[in-house]
């Protein structure tokens, strides 16, 4: 299983929110580039970046710092947050980003998503942010009225290969992740790699996700608070994979 440490960007800083609430923000590092280097030094291969400003505005608000992170580390970077145009996708891929996550645009403009998958292939992932079974958009601030399983069926039909799924109710709460949700998604949608996000807060979470065949786990607040040691998490995920 892949472990993806997370950096959420707001005004050029590494921050964390609670349940996606922009008013409940904690700044963990004034310098996201140095934070990314710390993750690299802990043997991370992937990095999950979210432009929180862009998620609300629909623009690449933190593109400059994202470019610096890519150019100053050897990490494979995936980026989400406000990516709603071909120009934005092209800009991020030109910076060296490995995978672009489409969220709001994926549900609001299905034809755009279809065209993006056809043009960029596996460089495109879809972010499915869910609260009580409903997919949320606009930086988690707006309900879509869409059921997660209905939407996942559509993603399968369009050939989406990677979904980053976040249970908003668990995000930043340090109360454990929604293993049952990710297991069900993985079992029902076998052509899609599920990346679990939201509430991954212990080694037990990681072991359970790996046991259930989840492709990857994004870890945020648990790394910043010291609840999970990144080196140990990566080593455990790899060891478990080798044992199976």
- Average pLDDT of 218-234? 95
Residues 205-218 have a mean pLDDT of 96
pLDDT at 194 over 80: yes
61 vs 131, more confident = 131
The lowest-confidence range among 101-105, 133-137, 170-174, 236-240 is 170-174
Helix axes 230-243, 203-211, angle to 10 degrees: 30
The span from the CA of 113 to the CA of 109, in Å, is: 7
Q: Read off the pTM.
A: 0.91
| Helix/strand/coil for 49 | strand
Residue 8 among the catalytic residues:
yes
Task: Report which secondary-structure segment, H or E, holds 102.
Answer: strand 99-102
Per the annotation, the verdict on 229 as an active-site residue is no
| pLDDT mean over 10-21 | 84
Q: What's the confidence (pLDDT) of residue 54?
A: 84
pLDDT tens digits, 29-58: 999 999 999 999 999 999 999 999 887 777
50-105-155 Cα angle (round to 5)? 100
d(CA 5, CA 35): 10
Catalytic residue among 51, 53, 129, 167: 129
227: tokens are 């609840």
Does position 185 have pLDDT exceeding 60, yes or no? yes
Whether the predicted pLDDT of 87 surpasses 90: yes
Catalytic residue among 8, 53, 167, 193: 8
- With respect to CATH, is domain 2-243 assigned 3.40.190.10? no
């Amino acid at each position: 299983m892949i472990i993806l440490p997370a950096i959420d960007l707001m005004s050029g800083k590494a921050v964390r929110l609670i349940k996606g609430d922009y008013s409940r923000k904690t700044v963990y590092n004034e310098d996201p580039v140095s934070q990314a280097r710390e993750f690299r030094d802990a043997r991370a291969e992937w990095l999950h970046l979210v432009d929180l400003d862009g998620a609300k505005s629909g623009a690449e608000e933190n593109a400059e710092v994202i470019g610096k992170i890519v150019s100053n580390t050897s990490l494979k970077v995936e980026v989400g947050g406000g990516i709603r145009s071909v120009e934005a996708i092209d800009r991020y891929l030109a910076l060296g980003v490995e995978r672009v996550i489409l969220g709001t645009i994926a549900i609001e403009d299905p034809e755009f998503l279809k065209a993006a998958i056809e043009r960029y292939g596996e460089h495109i992932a879809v972010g499915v942010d869910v609260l009580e079974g409903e997919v949320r958009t606009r930086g988690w601030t707006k309900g879509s009225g869409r059921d997660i399983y209905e939407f996942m069926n559509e993603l399968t039909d369009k050939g989406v290969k990677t979904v980053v799924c976040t249970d908003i109710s668990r995000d930043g709460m340090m109360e454990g992740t929604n293993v049952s949700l990710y297991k069900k998604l993985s079992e029902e949608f076998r052509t899609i790699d599920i990346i679990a996000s939201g509430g991954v807060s212990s080694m037990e979470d990681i072991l359970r996700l790996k046991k259930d065949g989840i492709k990857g786990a994004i870890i945020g607040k648990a790394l910043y608070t010291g609840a999970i040691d990144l080196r140990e998490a990566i080593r455990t995920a790899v060891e478990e994979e080798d044992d199976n």
